[in-house]
Each structure stands twice: as C-alpha cells, then as structure tokens.
C-alpha cells in the first residue's frame, strides 16, 4: 500500500470526503485532518473491515496560524460545528498547542504532526480544490505495516504510547498490530 492507495481509500469514502469538504470550507491555513481519521481507515482496510464508516471518536482538524484563533475560540468553533453537523470536531491551532507538552513553539502543522504520540497518528490529509494531499512527517511505512511506535519527537515516550493504545483498545480491534520501540 502506498500514499496514492491511501488517498484512493479516502476518495471512495463519501463520509470522509464530506468531512474534508467541511474542513476545506473553513479556509484555515496549513490545515489537515489527522489522527484516527486516516489511521483507523487504513487499519480497517488492512484488517478486511471494508465499507465501514471511519471509526474515530472525533475529527482532529489542526491548522497553523500565528495570528489565528486562540484555544477558547477554537473550542467554540468546534462546538458550533458539532451542533451543525452532528460530527464531533476538535479544532486546534497548532500555534498554541505546543504549550500542552511544554515544548518550544511548532513551526508548522507538519512540525506539530511530527511530535504527535505515534508515527501512525501524526499523519494528516487535506482537500484543496478537489485534490487530496497527505502529510506524513514520518512516512507511511508504520501505518501500512501495522506498526505502533512512538514518534521520535514525542516527549511522552513508549509508556505513554502503550497507555494510549490500551485505553483506545487498538490491539483488540486490530489484532494484526505490532508494537515496535526503536
């Protein structure tokens, strides 16, 4: 499976494309939808769970704008979109999100994604003028090889990643997953 295969999976999913169109219409700079939106779709496909709606608790829409919204404004927008669409949105300007992990400021959305907990979580997709673009600072190999590994830039390390995987039930839902720690 390569990047184009992932984009084709997304293109064929009407619900995912609807979500991406809503996000595109918000007109944020340097935005993507990441985390479970892509990860879960690919894992479902690789486990043979085809034709399912993406199983994700929320839509992680992130963008980068130094002069953009603060956290309170993003939370208010997320709530408004939840009411309008019935979809659980979480909108975050990565220009302030570095503070949550006591890190230096991020330089871009890609920089922020590179510091998300797992390499398979720090992958995003955007829609621009009908074209999908994948943003994967650590590549897609771990994702398509069903490997869960801490992002090399994530300050929480392996224990936090194991905690997250257990809490989210990843290994129960997708039994072909493997933990790799190097």
Taking 80 as the threshold, does the pLDDT of residue 163 lie above it? yes
**Percent of the chain whose pLDDT exceeds 90:** 84
Rounded to whole angstroms, how far apart are CA atoms 60 and 71? 14
Single out the residue of 155, 181, 177, 180 nearest to residue 168, CA to CA.
Answer: 177
Rounded to whole angstroms, how far apart are CA atoms 78 and 89? 5
- Residue 83 sits in which domain range? 3-179
Rounded to whole angstroms, how far apart are CA atoms 28 and 165? 30
Q: What is the mean pLDDT of the chain?
A: 92
The pTM of the full predicted model, rounded to 2 decimals, is: 0.92
> Structurally, how many domains does the chain consist of?
1
Could you read off the pLDDT of 64-100 as tens digits, one per residue? 999 999 999 999 999 999 999 999 999 999 999 999 8
């Amino acid at each position: 499976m390569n990047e184009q295969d992932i984009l084709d999976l997304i293109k064929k999913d009407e619900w995912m494309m609807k979500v991406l169109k809503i996000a595109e219409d918000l007109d944020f700079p340097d935005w993507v939808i990441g985390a479970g939106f892509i990860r879960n779709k690919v894992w479902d496909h690789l486990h043979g769970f085809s034709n399912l709606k993406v199983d994700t608790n929320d839509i992680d829409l992130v963008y980068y704008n130094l002069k953009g919204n603060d956290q309170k404004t993003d939370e208010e927008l997320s709530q408004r979109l939840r009411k309008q669409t019935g979809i659980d949105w979480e909108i975050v300007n990565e220009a302030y999100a570095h503070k949550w992990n006591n890190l230096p400021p991020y330089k871009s959305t890609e920089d922020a994604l590179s510091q998300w907990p797992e390499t398979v979580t720090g992958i995003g997709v955007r829609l621009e003028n009908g074209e999908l673009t994948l943003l994967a600072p650590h590549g897609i190999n771990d994702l398509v090889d069903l490997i869960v590994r801490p992002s090399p830039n994530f300050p929480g390390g392996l224990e936090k990643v194991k905690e997250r995987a257990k809490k989210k039930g990843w290994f129960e839902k997708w039994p072909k997953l493997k933990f790799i720690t190097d």
